[in-house]
């Protein structure tokens, strides 16, 4: 009798999971698509490597370009914030130049642009950067590279694209993302931001595992 009792409880439990499963799945957030880090991740990080890419220690001026406050959250698929992880961004300057020895652009680099920055998420999973609205790079639509480093071995890497940017339609990396998922890597660069900023953009990163681990 005890065996039958436990069997009934097991069957009832499995039936409950089958009923609850679709509802649970519907509540999960869709993971952010992963993308390549590209060839211009810094070989050597700048000495001034904070979360403000628009000012460089020892340089009096501010970076060229449209100053932007970029912020958001790092979440798991359940919507829970992931605290204490390092978020990095890197991008070309307003002249289309990366801070990298392999960069061979024709324009001089902007000495007032840091090129790379890092921040750590707070208890609410939030990060914040001050940077510039990305500009086109030869063969690429405007984009910002982003990486999230946690206790897992491999960092999660993606790219942030501008919502409504015409160049997105012809960008080979943007178009590798399935059409129905491209909205997950788009950010609106709209008027706003803190003092000294022209624009503000928000971008949440959702790591793919239920416990926040990156999806394969």
Q: For the chain, what percent of residues have pLDDT higher than 70?
A: 83
H/E stretch holding 166 reads none
For the record, the structure tokens of 155 come out as 């960092």
pLDDT in tens, 131-181: 999 999 989 999 999 999 987 658 999 999 999 999 999 999 999 999 999
Residue 141 CA, chain-centre distance (Å), reads 16
Pick 195 or 15 by higher pLDDT.
195
For the record, the structure tokens of 81 come out as 């914030």
Angstrom distance (rounded) from CA 118 to CA 129: 8
In this model, does residue 88 exceed pLDDT 90? yes
In this model, does residue 197 exceed pLDDT 80? yes
Q: How confident is the model at residue 209 (pLDDT cuts 50, 70, 90)?
A: low
Angstrom distance (rounded) from CA 184 to CA 37: 17
H/E stretch holding 172 reads none
C-alpha distance from residue 137 to each of 66, 98, 131, 165, 181 (Å): 16, 9, 16, 13, 23
Q: What is the CATH code of the structural domain delimited by 31-206? A: 2.60.130.10
Angstrom distance (rounded) from CA 178 to CA 180: 6
Q: Determine if residue 143 is left, alpha or beta; phi over 0 gives left, psi from -120 to 50 gives alpha, anything else beta.
A: beta
Give the pLDDT score at 46.
Answer: 82
**Single pTM value for the model:** 0.84
pLDDT in tens, 198-207: 999 999 999 9
Write b or e for each residue in 151-164: b if 16 or more Cβ atoms lie within 10 A of its Cβ, otherwise e.
eeeebbbbbbbbee
Residue 19 CA, chain-centre distance (Å), reads 34
């Amino acid at each position: 009798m005890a065996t039958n009792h436990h069997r009934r409880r097991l069957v009832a439990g499995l039936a409950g999971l089958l009923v609850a499963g679709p509802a649970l799945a519907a509540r999960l957030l869709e993971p952010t698509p992963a993308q390549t880090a590209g060839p211009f991740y810094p070989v050597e990080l700048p000495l001034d490597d904070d979360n403000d890419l628009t000012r460089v220690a020892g340089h009096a001026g501010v970076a060229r370009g449209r100053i932007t406050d970029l912020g958001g959250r790092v979440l798991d698929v359940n919507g829970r914030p992931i605290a204490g992880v390092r978020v990095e961004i890197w991008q070309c300057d307003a002249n289309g130049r990366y801070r990298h020895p392999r960069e061979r652009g024709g324009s001089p680099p902007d000495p007032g642009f840091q090129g790379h920055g890092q921040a750590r998420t707070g208890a609410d999973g939030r990060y914040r950067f001050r940077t510039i609205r990305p500009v086109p790079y030869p063969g690429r639509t405007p984009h910002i590279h982003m990486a999230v480093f946690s206790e897992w071995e491999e960092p999660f890497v993606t790219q942030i694209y501008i919502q409504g940017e015409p160049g997105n339609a012809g960008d080979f990396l943007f178009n590798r993302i399935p059409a129905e998922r491209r909205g997950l890597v788009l950010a609106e660069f709209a008027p706003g931001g803190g003092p000294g900023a022209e624009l503000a953009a928000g971008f949440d990163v959702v790591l793919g595992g239920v416990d926040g681990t990156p999806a394969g």
